[in-house]
Amino acid sequence: MKIAIIGAGAMGSIYGGHLSLKNEVYLIDTNEDIISSINNNGLIIEENGKSNVYRPKAVTNGEGLPEMDLVVLFVKALYSKVALAGNKNLIGENTYLMTLQNGSGHEDILEEFVDDKHIIIGTTEDNGAVLGVGHIRRGGIGNTNIGMLAEDNEGFLLKVKDAFDCCGFNVKIHDNIQQLIWNKLFTNVSLSVVTGILQVKIGYIRSNEYAWNMTKALIHEAVEVAHKMGLEAYEEKITKDVENVSIKSPEGVTSICADLGAGRKTEVDTISGSVVRAANKVGVKVPTHEFVVNMVHAMECKEK
Residue 80 to residue 73: CA distance in whole angstroms: 7
Segment 198-221, tens digit of pLDDT: 999 999 999 999 999 999 999 999
Between residues 301 and 175, which one has the greater pLDDT? 175
As a whole number of angstroms, the distance between CA 5 and CA 287 comes to: 37
- The percentage of residues in the chain with a pLDDT greater than 70, rounded to a whole number, is 99
pLDDT bracket for residue 139 (50, 70, 90):
confident
For residues 262-291, average pLDDT: 95
pLDDT-derived band at 147, boundaries 50, 70, 90: very high
Q: 24 forms bridges with which residues in the sheet?
A: 2
Kindly write down the DSSP assignment for every residue of 46-115, as one continuous string: EETTEEEEE--EEESS-TTPPPPSEEEE-S-GGGHHHHHHHTGGG--TT-EEEE--SSS-THHHHTTTS-
Alpha helices (runs of H) in 113-234, residue ranges in sequence order: 156-165, 177-187, 193-198, 202-207, 209-228
Phi/psi of residue 153, nearest 5 degrees: -65, -25
Backbone dihedral region for residue 147 (phi beyond 0: left; psi -120 to 50: alpha; all else: beta): beta
Q: Could you tell me if residue 80 is left (phi over 0), alpha (psi between -120 and 50 degrees) or otherwise beta?
A: alpha
User: 67, 96 in Cβ contact below 8 A?
Assistant: no
**Separation CA 128–CA 153 (nearest Å):** 34
Residue 165's pLDDT is 97
CB-CB neighbours of 220 under 10 Å: 15
pLDDT, the chain, mean? 94
**pTM over the 0.75 mark:** yes
Per-residue pLDDT of 215-268, as tens digits, reads 999 999 999 999 999 999 999 999 999 999 999 989 989 989 999 999 999 999
The whole-number average pLDDT for the span 37-56 is 95
Note the pLDDT of residue 144: 95
